[in-house]
Amino acid sequence: MLFLNACSSTIEEQSVETVASTVSSQTTTSVTSSTTTTIIDTTTSTINKGIRRRGIIKNNPFEEIPSEIISGHKLGATKYFEEATYEVESDAVAYNLKYFKLNDSEIRCAEKINADIVSRIEDAVAVEEELATYYTREDAEADGLMYINYLELSYNLVELGDVYSIIYFWHSYSTGAAHPITNPMALSYSLNNCELINIRDIFDTSSDEYLKVLDQEIINQLCAPLSVEDEKCRYDDDYAVHKKFVDGKGADILSTGSTQFAVGIFGLFVQFWEYDFYYASGSELILLPWKYLEDVLDKDGVYVDDFMRAYCVFDTYNFTDYEPLWTWICED
């Protein structure tokens, strides 16, 4: 990646707004008029000396997720997948688009899922090509600037088992922008029905308690580990500001469009956008263990027999010091 110091805020803002709106339109969560959001001005990190939290897993999209929390019984054999490249010929934009391609002779739903990601790539390329017409190579040369315009795609695999979950990252830069920008896009599919998982439908939405629990566990993970009761965590304030901004748009943490969620056996991955807090902090990735969310999961929901019951059964064998054993519907 190239980090340049050229300054043209107009182009950068235009690119950010366009890509952000594209990612927002692709989110798999939904918000209804009955949803109540909660401003968390008084929500701060809590310390329980009997609980160990993993904390921030990484804040660089180019880093890998630790293998101990990547799950799925189909990960052990490469016959199930391959890394593919989407080729684009363009005089205006340099492309390097890598995606995770499932083998349709081995994986149920592979053909539909592969077509979905290719469609998303095609849409992103179309947006990038249009943006490139606003400030051309000739414009850059006339301004005495080196013309650089690129779009790259990378990914972090989360799970390939009964659920296929992956976090993609769009990396882009256009001449004149202050710096490159990266936008996350998380996709979780049920391999039983071949559909994208609606994250909100995992929770009991009869009240807004699930949003409060999500807020609290997000703060706890962002601030872990805290060593003393009165220790102040900067994310207490950072998340409160982010949440206030989200609430002001009539949304909640599941429907921001910028913050992305991915489903895994060990819990719910939360991938923040690099501007959710502020650019210098990076792109934080955290994992919310099902154990700490189980009180607000929907025991009668659409995903109980799809994959959630299997998760807590598998969890008898697959758990860590940070993602503990949980029971939930497995007690039924």
**φ, ψ (nearest 5 deg) of residue 173:** -155, 145
Q: How far apart are CA 257 and CA 243, in angstroms?
A: 13
Please tell me the chain's helix, strand, coil percentages from 3-state DSSP, rounded to the nearest 5.
35, 20, 45
- How high is the pLDDT of residue 24? 41
**φ, ψ (nearest 5 deg) of residue 153:** -135, 125
- Angle between helical axes of 234-248 and 209-223 (0-180°, round to 10): 150
**φ, ψ (nearest 5 deg) of residue 286:** -130, 165
The 267-271 sheet, strands edge to edge:
260-264, 267-271, 285-289
Question: Cis before residue 66, ω within 30 degrees of 0?
Answer: no
The domain limits of the chain are 9-331
Bridge partners (DSSP) listed for residue 85:
98
Residues with Cβ within 8 Å of residue 15, at least 6 apart in sequence: 131, 172, 174, 177, 181
pLDDT tens for the chain, 332 residues long, are 333 333 333 333 334 443 444 444 444 443 333 433 333 444 666 656 568 899 999 999 999 999 999 987 677 678 899 999 999 999 999 999 999 999 999 999 999 999 999 999 999 999 999 999 999 999 999 999 999 999 999 999 999 988 999 999 999 999 988 889 999 999 999 999 999 999 999 999 999 999 999 999 999 999 987 655 556 788 988 999 998 999 888 999 999 989 999 999 999 999 999 999 876 677 999 999 999 999 999 999 999 999 988 887 765 566 888 998 887 766 65
Token code pair at residue 169: 């990252």
CA 323 to chain centroid: 19
- How high is the pLDDT of residue 168? 98
What are the CA-CA distances from residue 279 to residues 78, 109, 237, 304 (Å)?
36, 37, 16, 38
- How high is the pLDDT of residue 327? 76
Token code pair at residue 157: 């695999």
DSSP string, 57-123: -BS-TTSPPPGGG-B-TTTT-GGGEEEEEE----SS-EEEEEEEEE-TTTSTTHHHHHHHHHHHHHH
- Identity (one letter) of the amino acid at 268? L
